[in-house]
Amino acid sequence: MQDGLVESYAAAEIRRQPESWSRAIGLAAGLTATLPAPGERVAVIGCGTSWYMAAAYAALREETGAGETDAFAASQFPENRNYDRVVAISRSGTTTEVLRALRTARPRTVAITAVGGSPIAELAGEAVVLDFADERSVVQTVFATTALMLLRASLGADLEPVIQQADAVLGQEFTVELGAQVTFLGDGWAYGVAREAALKLREAAGVWTEAYPQLEYRHGPIAIAEPGRAVWVFGEPAPGIAADVAATGAELIDDALDPVADLVRAQLLAVAWAHERGLDPDRPRGLTRSIVLPTP
Ligand code: F1P
């Protein structure tokens, strides 16, 4: 473990994740009337990290046959859709675009937030308050994954193996090799998690990252692969991807982990690389805890 890793809020919050997930999973059974029911048409909205968690849950809900589910960056939420339920994810509960979208959403809305009594919690018809997962770092880790694990639990997933994998990731010593560029790949719900991993490295460490569905990788993004750059696959690698990456000389990272446990590894790397670069992972350049626009 590097000295720097224990100094940031982000490092401590990353380590809190398995415990926070267990707590959230314990809440899921009591939220069956609040969270989307099987068969409902659902939209899930958020901004930044919260959007990527929304995208992961939406794809997973469809994959498990629970019902049609769309995910939108809150600013892109279409006003004239009739969903059975709209789920808004926002750690702060103050993000302007989420508030704007919720004002147009109907009929049932539910907020998942870390802050009870926040504007989004008040505006939504119902609120799930994960205050135990709130964070000091601007860069989100524990709230985001806790919201996603709660939603996964609501779909009936057995998450104990994921917790064990994350515990193992957190217990590992790893050497920090500064990556010049990392492209994350994932399919289905893992694509949302891959986008979040890419965002984490950009936000905390200023690393150049990209993220694509696996089969999109050959449609252009592969052109930037070269020795010294990496391609990190979340979930099972698609046939032929490993060989195609090897041919470029880029490094392939395939941890064979659940995507959320793999995200924990990416979070740890983001904090470690931030320290290597002399950056503060808690206070990334140009970012604030939430984006509150002048016109609400
Ligand atoms: C969403 C968010 C974060 C991002 C930054 C700005 O916040 O976009 O994901 O890292 O801090 O805000 P929230 O709506 O989940 O509070």
DSSP the chain: --GGGGTSHHHHHHHTHHHHHHHHHHHHGGGTTTSPPTT--EEEEESTHHHHHHHHHHHHHHHTTS--EEEEEGGG--TT---SEEEEEESSS--HHHHHHHHH--SEEEEEESSTTSHHHHHSSEEEE-GGG--SSSS-SHHHHHHHHHHHHHTT---HHHHHHHHHHHH--------SEEEEEE-THHHHHHHHHHHHHHHHH--EEEEE-GGGTTTTGGGG--TT-EEEEESSPPTTHHHHHHHHTPEEE-----HHHHHHHHHHHHHHHHHHTT--TTS-TT--SS---S--
Which ligand 1 atom is at minimum distance from the Cα of 49?
9
Has residue 13 got a pLDDT over 70?
A: yes
For the segment 211-228, the average pLDDT, to the nearest whole number, is 97
Residues of the chain with pLDDT > 90: what percent? 91
Write down the pLDDT at residue 295.
85
Has residue 1 got a pLDDT over 70?
A: no
Give the pLDDT band of residue 80 (cuts 50, 70, 90).
Answer: confident
Has residue 4 got a pLDDT over 50?
A: no
Has residue 283 got a pLDDT over 60?
A: yes
Give the pLDDT band of residue 176 (cuts 50, 70, 90).
Answer: low
Q: Which of 57, 290, 292, 293 is the best mutation target for the ligand 1 pocket, counting ligand atoms within 8 Å of the beta carbon and taking the most?
A: 290
Cβ–ligand 1 distance for 47 under 6 Å, the answer yes
pTM of the model: 0.96
What is the tens place of the pLDDT at every residue in 16-29?
Answer: 999 999 999 999 99
For the segment 206-212, the average pLDDT, to the nearest whole number, is 96
Give the pLDDT band of residue 3 (cuts 50, 70, 90).
Answer: very low
- 81 or 140, which is more confident? 140
Has residue 174 got a pLDDT over 70?
A: no
Write down the pLDDT at residue 2.
44
For the segment 59-85, the average pLDDT, to the nearest whole number, is 96
What is the tens place of the pLDDT at every residue in 120-158?
Answer: 999 999 999 999 999 999 999 999 999 999 999 999 999
Q: Which of 112, 115, 138, 140 is the best mutation target for the ligand 1 pocket, counting ligand atoms within 8 Å of the beta carbon and taking the most?
A: 140
Nearest C-alpha to atom 4 of ligand 1 is from which residue? 48
